[in-house]
Amino acid sequence: MLNTSNDNIVQTTTKFPYRFEDLERIAKHTLAENVFSYIYSGASAENTLQKNNSTFHKYNMIPRLLRDVSKIDMSINLFGKQLPTPLILAPVGVLKMVNEMGDLAVVKAAETFNLPFIQSTVSSFSIEEVSQASSNPKWFQLYWSKNLDVTFNMVNRAEQAGYEAIVLTIDTVTLGWRESDLHHGFSPLANGYGQGIWESDTAFLSSLRDGSQNAMIEGIIDNINFPSLQWQHIVELKKRTHLPIILKGILHPDDALLALQYGVDGIIVSNHGGRQLDGIIPSINALPAIVKAIDGKIPVLFDSGIRRGNDALKAIALGADAVLIGRPFVYSLAIGGEEGVRQFLSNFIQDFQTNMILTGVCSIKEAKEIHIVRE
């Protein structure tokens, strides 16, 4: 066990998988085939999904030695808040199909390390339930609804519940072509998952044709399918909230510059974990050009392909201010519930810290100066 400044590192006598590959393998045997496939799979032929992971191996850090790395500070300041690490739990919907406690288990595990938790619009629990479950920072991930009253009511609920940022996902104006889900004939939303926020939203409920479950499902699916989303909607969102607005799904430097122009507070470089569009750039390859374009004016976060602490450090060395973790904590939730997520996060933080020590850096500021060579 590392000697770390984080007092909340979990000690355990229960052997929990350390390797991402083992998490994935055990989760596959734990979950129903269609559920595991939904989590694991990507769009179309899954080339982008695979490249998100494999491309990390092409980036090689050059360590500096004979430096005093006895005291490691992993903390960052993000949107005016001091955080203990640059690690954030990505928004993942329909978690209740993985574990009955879903988002509540994950946010409680994240609280152990005071990590921000981003709640999905298609969460299994309401904004208010998740807010009351823990004291760590929470952000709300927004899928823009066709019904503007629903969109802005959800934003207002997040504000009232003490959430600290709005993460607008911009790469899901329609659902990606996911062959694996089509093969299994499986849609979590169509099966009643992910209704927690919707079934507690007065603006949404008042718009339904009736109170049936079918009307609920049809209403959710219809609302989040919104191909008319464009930059002008950002202007409207800024009028409705004082919270920082973060755009998730940026891959092109020109879109990053437009985000600056429209006054957003941060961006997340992401290809949705390879789940939306196949044959596009791996997120890690998109990161350097976007960091250069933004030039420190707003925070640049990174998502898609983070599996280990080593990956997270590479993303930071390439300019990311913080990184999002997705599938690994979902697999951990499937295997061990709240305690499984807690143990995974403990392992990940220690892995990240070990990599900082061995590359010769003591802070995230120094980590951004790690020299990287691409094969």
Q: What is the pLDDT along the chain (375 residues), one digit of tens a residue?
A: 333 444 555 555 468 999 999 999 999 999 999 999 999 999 999 999 999 999 999 999 999 999 999 999 999 999 999 999 999 999 999 999 999 999 999 999 999 999 999 999 999 999 999 999 999 999 999 999 999 999 999 999 999 999 999 999 999 999 999 999 999 999 999 999 999 999 999 999 999 999 999 999 999 999 999 999 999 999 999 999 999 999 999 999 999 999 999 999 999 999 999 999 999 999 999 999 999 999 999 999 999 999 999 999 999 999 999 999 999 999 999 999 999 999 999 999 999 999 999 999 999 999 999 999 999
Query: What CA–CA distance (Å, rounded) separates 171 from 143?
Result: 10
288 in a known ligand binding site:
no
List strand residue ranges (DSSP E) for the chain, in order. Answer: 59-62, 76-78, 81-83, 87-89, 117-119, 138-142, 166-169, 245-250, 266-269, 300-302, 322-325, 371-374
Asked if residue 341 lies in contact with residue 105, where contact means CB atoms within 8 angstroms, the answer is: yes
pLDDT at residue 5, as a whole number: 44
* Per-residue CA distances from 348 to 10, 145, 169, 325 (Å): 11, 35, 25, 10
307 is in an annotated binding site: yes
Tell me what pLDDT residue 13 has.
46
Residue 15's pLDDT is: 81
- Known active-site residue 242: no
Residue 221 DSSP label: H
| 82 labeled binding residue | no
Q: What homologous superfamily does CATH list for 20-374? A: Aldolase class I (3.20.20.70)
Residue 286: CA atoms inside 13 Å, Cβ hemisphere, count? 26
Is 374 known to sit in a ligand binding site?
Answer: no
Which residue out of 57, 184, 242, 272 is catalytically annotated?
A: 272
294 within 8 A of 256, measured Cβ to Cβ: yes
Q: What is the model's pTM?
A: 0.95
